[in-house]
Structure 1
Amino acid sequence: METPLKITFKNLDPSPALEARIGEKAAKLDHFCEHVVACHVVVERPHGSRQQGDLYQVTVDLTVPGGELVADGVHENAHAALRAAFDAAVRRLEDHVRRRRLDVKRHDPAPHPTA
């Protein structure tokens, strides 16, 4: 992947396993959009309520021509939150590429009744 990748860990120690997985997922983003300018991934464990337990939040911030796309995932497992965030990022990238190509679904106008 030629896209600059930045990984930030908040409220938890950096994990080589998570960093490797993030690198793999980020490399696959090129399959959906060739022009990703930058990718910033934030993995954090916010301080929350005790009822929900430890939740991990992963935010993927992509810079693409014409805008910025942000997707996130929250889960009790860091790897599951990572998967959810990148799945959402892929959907947003696909939507962005469709809009840039003007490949959106258009509805035909309703035929006018003839009298």
Structure 2
Amino acid sequence: MTNEFQVVFHNIEQTDAIAGAVQKRIQKLERYCDEIIAGRVVLDSPHNNHHKGKVYSVGLEIHTPFKEVRVNQEQHDNHAHEDLYVAIRDAFNAAERQLKSIDKKHRITPPHKGGSNFSNQAA
């Protein structure tokens, strides 16, 4: 399915390395879930605390025919998110878990045919 992802950088310098990391995670989601219609990734560094350093936040919106998945990895006290790549990983992992949950709910199981072959076979 053709889908469009918009990647937005707020208060963060856009580099090829960061854009590449985001694109790699988007491609992984697309391989897992072919029902994705569109999405938006917002990378932000809203907090510049001199004592703690920058803490990054990553927001995701993923649109499927069944549901809209939203992830906001804004964890002010999580020192792991002082690394943008860790924040990206955590956000996409959370989105993947939500997509798996949606996939399980909407997976169509084939109906059972009347009777089994064992009951139809007489010894």
Name the TM-score class by shorter chain.
Answer: 0.7 to 0.9
What's 2:57 paired with? Answer: 57
Distance 1:97 1:51 in 2: 43
CA 2–102 in structure 1, closer or farther in 2 if over 3 Å, else same: closer
DSSP-derived class of the 1:47 partner:
strand
Map residues 30-41 of structure 1 onto 2, 5 A cutoff. 30-41=30-41
The answer as to whether partners of 1:33 and 1:93 remain within 8 angstroms in 2 is yes
Alpha-carbon shift at residue 50 of structure 1 (Å): 4.2
Match of 1:46 in 2: 46
Quick one: distance in 1 between partners of 2:67 and 2:5?
A: 17
> TM-score scaled to structure 1, two decimals?
0.79
Instruction: State how far apart, in whole Å, the 2-side matches of 1:97 and 1:50 are.
Output: 43
Match of 2:67 in 1: 67
Partner residue in 2 for 1:8: 8
Q: How many residues align?
A: 103
**1:53-76, Cα deviation, whole Å (9 max, x unpaired):** 210001111001122101233411
Counterpart in 1 of 2:113? none
Separation in 1 of the partners of 2:12 and 2:19? Answer: 13
Q: Does structure 1 residue 96 correspond to structure 2 residue 76?
A: no
RMSD: 2.0
Q: Which secondary structure does the structure 1 equivalent of 2:54 belong to?
A: coil
**Identical counterparts, % of pairs:** 27
Instruction: Report which of the two structures shows the higher radius of gyration computed on alpha carbons.
Output: 2
Tell me the equivalent position of 2:86: 80
Q: Which has the higher helix share?
A: 2
Give yes or no for contact 1:26–1:39 (8 Å, CA) kept in 2: no
Summarize the alignment of residues 20-39 of structure 1 with structure 2, pairs less than 5 Å apart: 20-39=20-39
SS at match of 1:25: helix
